[in-house]
Structure formats: structure tokens, C-alpha cells
Structure 1
Amino acid sequence: MPQMSPMMWFLLFIMFTIVLILFNQMNFFTFKLNPLKSKSSPLTKKMKFNWKW
């Protein structure tokens, strides 16, 4: 069975690294997050903490 030269291993590593980065970038930019619009209740507006140290 023939052996691969170190340069071929390095090129294989570079190729897989580029594929991994491209795959992650595609997943990151294709995912659209819909932010939840929180309904602010009057209770949260009233509760202000004054820390007295």
C-alpha cells in the first residue's frame, strides 16, 4: 500500500479545514433568528433595586 507524502497530508488537512470553515459559515449565515418581542409587564417596570451597601 503506497504511503502519502507529508505534503499530501498537509494539503488534505488544508482542504478539510477549508470545507469545515465554509460549512460553518453557510450554517451561520443561513440561520435567521427571529427575536422574541417581550411584553414588558408593569411589574418589571416597578421593580427597581436600590442596593445599599
Structure 2
Amino acid sequence: MPQMAPLLWLYLYIFFLLSFIIFLMINYFIKPFETIDSNIISKSSTHFFNWKL
């Protein structure tokens, strides 16, 4: 039935919006791994590269 096509697009649009909102909420509440400060790496890594013959 051709008159059902606008409802199909409406349902697809609502499904997309709900899934996008859920995706954003998951990304907001799940924190990424903590990044290590580059200054700490550069200070500690100099000890490993000081080789004495």
C-alpha cells in the first residue's frame, strides 16, 4: 500500500534518532582510557636511554 510509505520513513527516522541518542549517551558515560602525560614519559624515559660503556 503506497500510503504506508510516509509512516515507514517516520519510523525509520525515529529509530535513527533513538539509536543516535543511545549511542551518544553510551559514549558520554563510558570514559576512555586515561592518557599518560607526555612530560612524565619524557622524564622517566631519559633514565632508560643513558647507557654507559
TM-score of the superposed pair, with normalisation by structure 1: 0.60
Q: Which residue of 1 aligns with 2:8?
A: 9
Q: 2:20 corresponds to which letter in structure 1?
A: I
Q: CA RMSD in A?
A: 2.7
Question: What residue ranges of structure 2 are gaps of 5+ in the alignment?
Answer: none
Q: Which residue of 1 aligns with 2:30?
A: 31
Q: CA deviation at 1:21?
A: 0.3
Segments ≥4 residues shifted beyond 3 Å: 36-41
Q: How many residues align?
A: 43
Identity percentage over the alignment?
Answer: 14
Is 11-20 or 26-35 further displaced after alignment? 26-35
Q: Which residue of 2 aligns with 1:21?
A: 20
